């Protein structure tokens, strides 16, 4: 049977799925995004192969399609595991291809303008975390003083999948960390709760600084600038992979494709003997 059983409403199944993901140690971000998506999807669709394919065929970007597919596949596999379904509705569907996106860093030399456009210390610190530590906006949002080891000058970051990594702090960020340590708590506390600022608000503040500097790039472009600049400075690919916290070096290799300067230098080094 493909459809949901009448005696287990969608809300109860999603709630149980959330508990299952928490038990597996998935990141809060992954759990939240899957829960929100499934609630929206199941308002208008059923977990049948026909409905899933019809949904995936609707107008959306290829990366979004691939992300939604991963959410549906995880949920359907779980429904089979708890015996709500006898067969997996996603099993016969050909997975959508995830196109490899190219990094879009902020233009070379524009970071100073972005920092100058910041109207608050918090906004400036967010930009520095994105550009000098390569943090994603959800990682920036939850930086806490306890995540920093001032003695060794490193920041411990919980990234995708709940993986914890160590990032050496740039001199400018080390000074920020020393200042933040005197205050304590989250670097960017929420005015409404005892927790950190929402990632959406972090993204908004960074985007405002970018726009004020005359740039149309997204906040994630700061992380792209970080990776590209590391390669431009002569760091080897393996080191950049560690600093970017990529699982696969294939993810890091795309940064070599955007370095026009390095390509021009390489071409300029070709000589024909007279």
Query: Residue 173 is encoded by which pair of tokens?
Result: 């960020």
CB atoms closer than 10 angstroms to residue 114: 27
Find the catalytic residue in 68, 186, 226, 255: 255
Residue 24 catalytic? no
Find the catalytic residue in 136, 138, 180, 245: 136
Residue 7 catalytic? no
Find the catalytic residue in 65, 142, 223, 224: 223
DSSP conformational letter for 47: S
Region of residue 184 (left: phi > 0; alpha: psi -120 to 50; beta: else)? left
Question: 3-state DSSP call for residue 113?
Answer: helix
Find the catalytic residue in 160, 170, 198, 199: 160
Residue 223 catalytic? yes
- Candidates 152, 169, 162, 133; CA nearest to 247 is 162
Q: Are strands 154-158 and 148-149 parallel, antiparallel or unpaired?
A: antiparallel
For 160-180, b/e burial (b = at least 16 CB within 10 A) is eeeeeeebebbeebbebbeeb
Find the catalytic residue in 73, 198, 220, 262: 220
Residue 160 catalytic? yes
Question: 3-state DSSP call for residue 189?
Answer: strand
Is 138 in contact with 29 (CB distance < 8 Å)?
yes
Rg (CA), the chain: 22
Active site residues: 136, 160, 220, 223, 246, 255
């Amino acid at each position: 049977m493909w459809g949901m059983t009448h005696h287990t409403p969608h809300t109860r199944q999603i709630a149980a799925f959330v508990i299952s993901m928490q038990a597996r140690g998935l990141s809060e971000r992954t759990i939240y995004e899957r829960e929100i998506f499934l609630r929206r999807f199941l308002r208008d669709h059923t977990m049948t192969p026909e409905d899933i394919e019809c949904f995936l065929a609707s107008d959306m970007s290829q990366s979004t399609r691939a992300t939604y597919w991963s959410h549906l596949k995880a949920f359907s596999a779980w429904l089979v595991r708890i015996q709500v379904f006898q067969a997996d509705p996603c099993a016969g569907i050909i997975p959508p291809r995830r196109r490899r996106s190219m990094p879009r860093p902020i233009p070379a030399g524009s970071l100073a303008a972005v920092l100058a456009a910041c109207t608050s210390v918090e906004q400036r610190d967010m930009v520095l975390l994105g550009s000098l530590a390569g943090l994603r906006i959800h990682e920036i949002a939850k930086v806490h003083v306890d995540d920093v080891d001032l003695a060794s000058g490193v920041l411990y970051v919980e990234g995708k999948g709940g993986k914890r990594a160590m990032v050496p702090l740039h001199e400018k960020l080390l000074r920020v960390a020393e200042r933040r340590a005197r205050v304590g708590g989250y670097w960017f506390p929420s005015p409404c709760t005892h927790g950190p600022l929402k990632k959406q608000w972090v993204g908004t503040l960074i985007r405002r600084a970018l726009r004020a500097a005359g740039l149309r790039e997204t906040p994630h472009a700061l992380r792209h600038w970080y990776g590209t600049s590391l390669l431009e400075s002569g760091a080897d690919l393996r080191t950049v992979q560690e600093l970017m916290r990529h699982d696969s070096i294939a993810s890091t290799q795309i940064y070599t494709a955007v370095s026009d300067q390095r390509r021009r230098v390489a071409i300029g080094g070709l000589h024909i003997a007279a």
